[in-house]
A and B are shown apart, each in its own frame.
Chain A
Amino acid sequence: DTGVSQDPRHKITKRGQNVTFRCDPISEHNRLYWYRQTLGQGPEFLTYFQNEAQLEKSRLLSDRFSAERPKGSFSTLEIQRTEQGDSAMYLCASSLSTGPIYFGEGSWLTVV
């Protein structure tokens, strides 16, 4: 399978714990994006990378959130001190420059 893969697919965590999601983009895609989707809503942009450089961050991305793409390949999204409001699906997507954007199946986070 050469699509965008995300891990884990589901995560349940207690409030205050840290969680990390991993995204492996389509091979050779230089752009990688993170989105958040809550039930009944469209996805909202969080941040994106071109190669290893993080080019833009949404104001939705509070200081508890950090994303990295250290070698320009896979990316991680870490949420520190999780809150119940962080419960959502976290989507990763990738593209080759300004080509079509392909999404992974998402990582569901439930904060209890």
Chain B
Amino acid sequence: GDSVTQMEGPVTLSEEAFLTINCTYTATGYPSLFWYVQYPGEGLQLLLKATKADDKGSNKGFEATYRKETTSFHLEKGSVQVSDSAVYFCVLSDLVSWGKLQFGAGTQVVVTP
């Protein structure tokens, strides 16, 4: 079945550092890919999405490009802030079963001043 693998955390960074969270997927069809973020004590928020190969999703300084050839959707941000401390989930959804999301295990990011 479809699955998502993302790098384990925690990832600890200093403010203004560059962030990369690796994510790869396995899917039989042509999934849409998402990054969701969960801030401490809060629910899941959609951070960005990409629906087809070579699409780039971006939001709040974060970017991820849907790479079909490497089955990857790595999340990047050029300069992180303390407020970016959260758990980030790489997520996949097939169009046929839209909303039946397949989540990665999550990567905790801790940004220190």
Contacts and interface: CB of A to CB of B under 8 A. Distances in A.
Given A42-B89, A45-B101, A102 B106 contact: no
Contacts, number: 52
B95 interface: yes
Interface in A74-112: 91, 93, 95, 97-98, 100-106
A78 to B, nearest CB: 21
16 contacts: A33-B99, A35-B101, A40-B106, A42-B89, A42-B105, A43-B44, A44-B103, A45-B102, A48-B100, A98-B95, A98-B98, A100-B49, A102-B46, A103-B45, A104-B43, A106-B43
Interface size class of B (residues with CB under 8 A): 20 to 34
Contacts of A28: none
Interface residues of A, number: 23
Interface string A31-44: 10101000011111
Nearest to B32: A98
